[in-house]
């Protein structure tokens, strides 16, 4: 068995939590629907499969995977995980991702095993942080004796939970959630099936999950990213593992997810091949002759770029729908402050198709200015309807989102070309970009 599993999961015969033995598979369906006569967002449906297991210390662990349909969704590295369903546990809890008014909102989903099973009794009540729990009644649901639990927040009743009285298994959940400007939605979750896996099937599912977790951990993701952009090294590592994972996951709850991963790795390979082709096309060649126009209609003077090291950062400079890491502009601004005194010119390029639309260009500029003020950016940001980006190679045509980074040497030739975010640590910032800038400055000095 793979020993990488979070919590060192083990098959322990006879171990149970209430009446939920290790190796119990729970399948749920769910939905998120806007509560409005004229909804502005599409409904989302999703399904969750969870598998119980035990850790070395005898505690319950839940392995899970998620499928989403409609209104956006997580990419595959965020669609599976494990956690201990106790009130203060850490781990990868279950969340769906719902896009409303252009903003992706993570929404927490209740644990399949109720974390306060020991408190379930007639008229029971307790607090957990800002939530107040109250057992309202006992009822029969799907031939199960269940407790109905009402959960309230400072906004009033927010959740109704139906919990199997004997086991603590969540039978159903209804939850009010708010997104955007106070728009109300209802999140529903309902148990569809519960079964105990044979020992061999359980062991196989655990082994596959262990290898999946190895792959997930190797990517170093924070859990908040909305896209998958593997580096060449990450892709190579994943490609070396995928055959093994496909074999291990066959016939398990992970097989469909693994198929999605395998297809994505093929797309990632094509993307990186295309990105390498763009870099090869531009690096060492004269940069396109471009004029960088500012929002006030003026152009950056030629004497600020000619004969100097120039850093270009193509990104969507918008105040709305911001998502971390915010184009890494905070780190870029720090680099600008450090290298500006050496003659380096940093130019942000706001790529926004609205710039070329008379009726929308004003909104695009206002959004850009709000972002610049919010981040207190000290470098110039030019505007681009997409024309400049096309001249430098639009990575979006390869399936790669912005940003695009270009370093131009004093001789006007491209010396560095990077698509996507840099892998950074807070104390080093944009180390790879800074190294390219320093090398270009050294060559500039040598030429003088």
**Domain identity same for 414 and 270:** no
In a domain, 57, yes or no: yes
Query: Residue 181 domain-assigned?
Result: no
> Has residue 380 been placed in a domain?
yes
Tell me, yes or no, whether 84 and 207 share the same domain.
yes
Domain membership flag for residue 131: no
Q: Is residue 430 part of a domain?
A: yes
Look up tokens 């979750």; give the residue: 189
DSSP code at position 265 = H
Which of 215, 224, 265, 213 lies closest to 421 in space, CA to CA? 224
Statement to judge: residues 276 and 315 lie in one domain: no
342 and 415, same domain (yes or no)? yes
Looking at the structure, tell me whether residues 357 and 267 fall in a common domain: no
CATH classification of the domain holding 322 = 3.40.30.10
**Domain hosting residue 234, numbered range:** 1-35+43-93+195-282
pLDDT tens digits, one per residue of 384-410: 999 999 999 999 998 888 999 999 999
| Residue 396, token pair as written in the block | 């979006």
Of 221, 252, 282, which residue constitutes the final position of a domain? 282
Residue 341, domain member (yes or no): yes
Which among 248, 282, 316 is the end of a domain? 282
Element holding 372 (H helix, E strand): helix 361-375
- Please, what is the angle between helix 329-339 and helix 431-447, to 10°? 30
275 and 380 in a single domain? The answer is no
Question: In terms of domains, do 342 and 242 share one?
Answer: no
Q: Are residues 245 and 393 in the same domain?
A: no
pLDDT digits 0-9 by tens, 284-320: 999 999 999 999 989 999 999 999 999 999 999 998 7
- How far apart are the C-alpha atoms of 230 and 137, rounded to whole Å? 50
Task: Look at residues 249, 282, 315 and tell me which one is the last residue of a structural domain.
Answer: 282
Question: Are 278 and 397 members of one domain?
Answer: no
| Same domain, residue pair 333 and 400 | yes
pLDDT by residue for the chain (448 residues), tens digit each? Answer: 333 333 334 333 334 455 789 999 999 999 999 998 787 888 999 999 999 998 777 778 999 999 999 999 999 999 999 998 875 556 789 999 999 988 889 999 999 999 999 999 999 999 988 899 999 999 999 899 999 999 998 776 789 999 999 999 999 999 999 998 889 999 999 999 999 999 999 999 999 999 999 999 999 888 877 778 888 889 999 999 999 999 999 999 999 999 999 999 999 999 899 989 999 999 999 999 999 999 998 999 999 999 999 999 999 999 877 777 888 999 999 999 999 999 999 999 999 999 999 899 999 999 999 999 999 999 999 999 999 999 999 999 988 889 999 999 999 999 999 998 888 888 889 999 999 999 999 999 999 8
Say how far residue 384 (Cα) sits from the centre of its chain.
Answer: 27
Would you call 393 helix, strand, or coil by DSSP?
A: coil
Report the domain count for the chain: 2
Residue 142: inside a domain, yes or no? Answer: no
- Answer yes or no: is 353 within a domain: yes
State whether 254 and 306 are in the same domain.
no
**CA distances (Å), origin 29, targets 50, 79, 188, 330, 401:** 12, 15, 8, 41, 32
Same domain for 320 and 432? Answer: yes
Q: φ, ψ for residue 198 (rounded to 5)?
A: -65, 155
User: Would you tell me how many other CB atoms lie within 10 Å of the CB of residue 286?
Assistant: 11
Which ranges of 153-297 does DSSP label H, i.e. alpha helix?
Answer: 199-218, 232-249, 255-282
Say if residues 77 and 221 touch (Cβ distance below 8 Å): yes
């Amino acid at each position: 068995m793979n020993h990488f599993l979070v919590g060192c999961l083990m098959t322990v015969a006879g171990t149970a939590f209430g009446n939920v033995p290790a190796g119990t598979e729970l399948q749920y369906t769910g939905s998120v629907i806007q509560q409005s006569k004229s909804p502005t967002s599409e409904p989302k449906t999703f399904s969750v499969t969870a598998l119980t297991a035990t850790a070395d210390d005898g505690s319950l662990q839940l392995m899970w995977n998620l499928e989403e349909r409609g209104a956006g969704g997580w990419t595959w590295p965020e669609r599976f995980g494990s956690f201990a369903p106790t009130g203060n546990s850490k781990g990868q809890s279950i969340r769906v991702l719902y896009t409303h008014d252009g903003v992706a909102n993570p929404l927490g989903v209740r644990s399949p095993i109720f974390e306060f099973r020991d408190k379930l009794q007639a008229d029971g009540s307790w607090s957990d942080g800002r939530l107040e729990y109250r057992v309202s009644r006992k009822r029969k649901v799907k031939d199960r004796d269940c407790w109905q639990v009402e959960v309230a927040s400072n906004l009033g009743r927010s959740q109704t939970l139906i919990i199997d009285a004997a086991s603590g298994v969540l039978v159903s959940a209804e939850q009010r959630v708010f997104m955007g400007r106070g728009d109300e939605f209802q999140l529903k979750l309902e148990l569809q099936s519960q079964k105990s896996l044979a020992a061999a099937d359980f062991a196989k599912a655990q082994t596959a999950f262990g290898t999946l977790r190895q792959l997930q951990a190797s990517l170093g993701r924070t859990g908040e990213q909305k896209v998958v952009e593997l580096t060449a090294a990450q892709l190579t590592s994943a490609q070396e593992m995928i055959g093994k994972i496909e074999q291990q996951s066959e016939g398990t709850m992970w097989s469909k997810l693994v198929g999605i991963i395998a297809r994505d790795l093929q797309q990632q390979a094509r993307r990186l091949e295309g990105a390498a082709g763009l870099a090869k096309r531009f690096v060492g060649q004269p940069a396109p002759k471009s004029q960088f126009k500012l929002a006030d209609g003026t152009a950056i003077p030629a004497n600020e770029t000619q004969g100097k090291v120039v850093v270009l950062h193509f990104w969507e400079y918008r105040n709305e729908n911001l998502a971390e890491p915010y184009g890494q502009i905070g780190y870029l601004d720090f680099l600008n402050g450090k290298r500006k005194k050496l003659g380096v010119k940093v130019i942000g390029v706001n790529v926004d198709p609205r710039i070329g639309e008379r009726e929308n260009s004003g909104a695009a500029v206002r959004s850009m200015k709000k972002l610049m003020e919010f981040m207190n950016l000290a470098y110039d940001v030019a505007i681009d309807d997409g024309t400049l980006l096309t001249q430098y190679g639009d990575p979006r045509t390869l399936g790669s989102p912005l940003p695009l980074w270009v370093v131009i040497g004093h001789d006007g030739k491209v010396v560095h070309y990077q698509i996507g975010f840099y892998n950074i640590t807070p104390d080093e910032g944009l180390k790879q970009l800074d190294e390219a800038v320093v090398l270009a400055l050294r060559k500039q000095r040598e030429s003088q």
